[in-house]
Structure 1
Amino acid sequence: MSKCPNHGGHKWRKIWMRVFQVSLVVAFIILLIVLITWAILQPHKPSFTLQDATVYAFNASATPSLLTSTFQVTISSHNPNDNIAIYYDRLDVYATYQDQQITLSTRIPPTYEDTNDVDVWSPFLYGISIPISPYYAAELTQDQSNGYVVVMIRLRGRVRWRVGSFTSGGYHIFVNCPAYITMGSRSTGIAVGNNAVKYQLMQSCSVNV
């Protein structure tokens, strides 16, 4: 009685199929455990606060429409989770006026934020002779004459969540912090140097992840 020439191949295919099936079941169980743990823990997004802003320069020219601005802002981040840590892999900070970017982006170093922890950053934001639309230049002139300018401090980047030894994939994070800059007789700032004015803001920021 002759043996099937493919008998050995069939045997190994069955073994590899069984290994694949077992691996698939194990992977599914691990994923299910992670998802259940994630659902139970319910991670909350971090909260951000714009604590203060020091204005060193904020000057516009009419023809051409150029804006020069220099700020130092203090921003704090709080992780409200009891069991979930946060990795800030990248955070870029910049300022906008009327949705137009008026400074270059300043990158905050990668940061690990433990559970219920708080981190504070104080980046400098620079924008030298940044072109702005004539319409925005007119709006800025009007705001300055009214003694009240709103500059938006924005953070853009990527974060990851850590639960025990499990670390999630990266998520985009978007943070918007309004800075209310008062001028003239309405100014609430404190002079801190040559032509520098510091504003205590303690303004909550909107956060989207």
Structure 2
Amino acid sequence: MAENPEEQKQTSPSPEHHHPEEHNPEERKQTSHSPEHHDPEEQKKTSHSPEHHDPEEQKQTSPSPEHHQHAHGMTNCEHDGGGGAYRFGQKNPRRACCTFLVVFLALAGITALIVWLVYRPHKPSFTVVAFAVYGINTSSPPFVSATMQFTVVARNPNHRVFILYDHLSTFVSYRNQAITPPVMLPPFFHERKSTVAISPVIGGAAVPVSVEVANGLALDEVYGVVGLRLVLMGKLRWKAGAIWSGHYGLYVRCELLVGLKKGLVGQVPLLGSPHSPCNVHI
């Protein structure tokens, strides 16, 4: 049985009836999941690949070398006084100055230590080797007049250091009171590893003392044993090569026990421990 061609034409689905353009384009865009139909803006937001990162955002989040230098104290930068900027790769002048100062002080300290060990000065020694009396008058208290002479040997123990003595004075005391006026001594130069003998004549003028001192001195002369103290004071300087030190105070105290009797004139024996060194304070 033959069918109507027109009816067959209407009922037969032809390829043209399924043309894509007949469907709604917006609906197809929403339902399609193929990569070709993805929204470019949405793909830019959801993509995490490095190629789709925003350049402005990457500039804000990426730490630059300058930020690292500011965070770490700008150790390799130099401050530009004109604009307040820092130049990368240059040393800090303040750090260089501090380093030079530390090295200089360390070298100066080492040099001073070596010089001190090589030229370390030792204080001189003083010893009374002889004593003579030319008169003691205790008959008119509270005044005492005495004339004495001491022979003192000074020794310089240093091998490389010279000593210069100046502003020296000396006097004699009894029971912590002076019985002679101070006498000025001329300055003298002390060679290294040498001895110098000085024999000053001390006294002559009357000195006011207490009654106890005058009576005690007269009583000791009766027994023939008198305790005296010889004092030397002044300043000294050290000389090592061409280097002179500053002035140092010198105080020498010599405790003596002499065999002195009333009316005896001349050489007087030293009792106790003769030739014993004096106490030296610098």
For 1:147 and 1:104, how far apart are their aligned partners in 2? 24
Amino acid corresponding to residue 265 of structure 2 in structure 1: A
In structure 2, the partner of 1:150 is 227
In the TM superposition, what are the counterparts of 1:100-119 in structure 2 within 5 Å? 100-119=177-196
The equivalent of 1:196 in structure 2 is 265
Q: Match for 2:244 among 142, 157, 167? A: 167
Q: 2-side partners of 1:177 and 1:141: how far apart?
A: 22
Deviations 1:78-136 (A, max 9, x none): 00111211111221111111111111222222111111111111111014221110121
Aligned pairs for 1:84-99 within 5 A? 84-99=161-176
2:136 to 54, 58, 71: 58
Contact 1:87–1:113 under 8 Å retained in 2: yes
Higher relative contact order (CA 8 A, sep 6+): 1
8 Å contact kept, 2:180–2:202: yes
Which segment is superposed worse, 102-111 or 199-208? 199-208
**1:132 aligns with one of 206, 209, 233:** 209
User: Structure 1 residues 40 and 197, CA, compared in 2 at 3 Å: closer, same or farther?
Assistant: same
Distance 1:207 1:55 in 2: 24
Q: Give 2:117's aligned residue.
A: 39
Given that 2:259 and 2:269 are in contact with CA atoms closer than 8 Å, whether structure 1 keeps it comes out as no
CA contact (8 A) 2:134 2:147 kept: yes
Q: Aligned pair in 2 of structure 1 residues 196, 143: CA closer, same or farther (>3 Å)?
A: closer
- Residue of structure 2 equivalent to 1:76: 153
Q: Verify: 1:141 aligned to 2:218, yes or no.
A: yes
Superposition deviation, residue 147 in structure 1: 1.4
Take 1:45 and 1:121, find their aligned partners in 2: how far apart are those partners? 18
Q: Secondary structure at the residue paired with 2:268?
A: strand
CA contact (8 A) 1:56 1:69 kept: yes
In structure 2, distance between residues paired with 1:29 and 1:84 = 24
Return 92-101 or 139-148, whichever deviates more: 139-148
Equivalent in the alignment of 2:78 = none
Runs of 4+ residues over 4 Å off in structure 1: 21-32
Q: Work out the CA distance in 1 between the residues paired with 2:160 and 2:279.
A: 23
Structure 1 residues 184 and 169, CA gap change in structure 2 (3 angstroms): closer
Equivalent residues of 2:169, 2:232 under 8 A apart: yes
Cα distance change, pair 203–55 in 1 and its aligned pair in 2 (3 A) = farther
Q: Distance in 1 between matches of 2:122 and 2:278?
A: 15
**8 Å contact from structure 2 (residues 164, 187) kept in 1:** yes
Give ranges in structure 1 of 5+ residues lacking alignment: 5-13, 188-194
Shift in Å, 1:40 = 4.2
- C-alpha distance 24-61 of structure 1, shift in aligned 2 (>3 A): farther
Identity of aligned residues (%): 30
In structure 1, C-alpha distance between the alignment counterparts of 2:161 and 2:186, rounded to whole Å: 20
Letter of the 1:59 partner, please give it. N
Range with bigger deviation, 171-180 or 136-145: 136-145
**Per-residue CA distance 1:32-57 (angstroms, 9 max, x = gap):** 52343113443211110111111001
Q: Which moved further from structure 2: 68-77 or 196-205?
A: 196-205
Hey, what's the Cα distance between the residues in 1 that align with 2:186 and 2:109? 32
Select the structure of larger CA radius of gyration: 2
User: Once the two structures are superposed, what CA deviation does each residue of 1:164-185 show, in whole Å capped at 9, x if it has no partner?
Assistant: 2211111111111123221349
Moved more, 72-81 or 39-48: 39-48
Q: What amino acid is aligned across from residue 208 of structure 1 in structure 2?
A: H
Q: 1:35 to 1:151 in 2, by over 3 A?
A: same
The structure where strand makes up a greater share of residues is: 1
